[in-house]
Amino acid sequence: MKKTWIQKIQDKKTFPKILKLDKSFPCYNAVHKMGTNEGDPVILVNASEIWPLMAEVPEGSLTTISEICKKVAKQHKVKGCCTLTTGIFIMSIANAVEEAVAGGDKSLFTRIPYWRTLKAGGFLNEKYPRGLEEQRNRLEDEGHKIIVRGKKYQVADYDKYLFKF
């Protein structure tokens, strides 16, 4: 039986996990761009450490996977955070929120404004529920201007709206 999104974000017994960054890691380039070097400690965390950060972002503000990773790394007193694992959990959290809403859940979890969490560089996430157009509409409803960059959408001047954790 296929797992639900809610099941997919349940804590894993093997996390959090600290590894030494290696060039063979799929997240190496992204983590290295954020200032982490080969051999530095990098954390992989559960979704339960990510969604509370996403929930903090108020209307009019934004965050990115990079900002969330910086906060998680700081909380664990390590140099970096795996952007690949974090990105998968961010997308899974968004889908779990919509799954919970569709199931009639009215808990605080269903109020996570996941659409305010952008990809690195302020780009919209095509893997969010109902795709780019839904995220674009929600962000425009909150006053953000969206620009098209090739096949991608980006929030104009997104860095001016970054929430400070």
Per-residue confidence of the chain (165 residues) as pLDDT tens digits?
A: 899 999 999 999 999 999 999 999 999 999 999 999 999 999 999 999 999 999 999 999 999 999 999 999 999 999 999 999 999 999 999 999 999 999 999 887 889 999 999 999 999 999 999 999 999 999 999 999 999 999 999 999 999 999 999
- The domain tally of the chain equals 1
What is this structure's pTM? 0.94
Q: What is the CATH number of the domain that holds 62?
A: 1.10.10.10
Does residue 6 lie in a domain region?
no
CB-based contact 18:41 (threshold 8 Å) = yes
**Cα 125–Cα 128–Cα 133 angle in degrees, nearest 5:** 75
Does residue 139 lie in a domain region?
yes
Q: Classify 56 as helix, strand or coil.
A: helix
Does residue 72 lie in a domain region?
yes
Does residue 79 lie in a domain region?
yes
DSSP H helices, 12-130, are 28-33, 51-56, 65-75, 83-102
Does residue 3 lie in a domain region?
no
> What is the span of the domain harbouring residue 27?
15-161
Does residue 8 lie in a domain region?
no
Does residue 22 lie in a domain region?
yes
Does residue 90 lie in a domain region?
yes
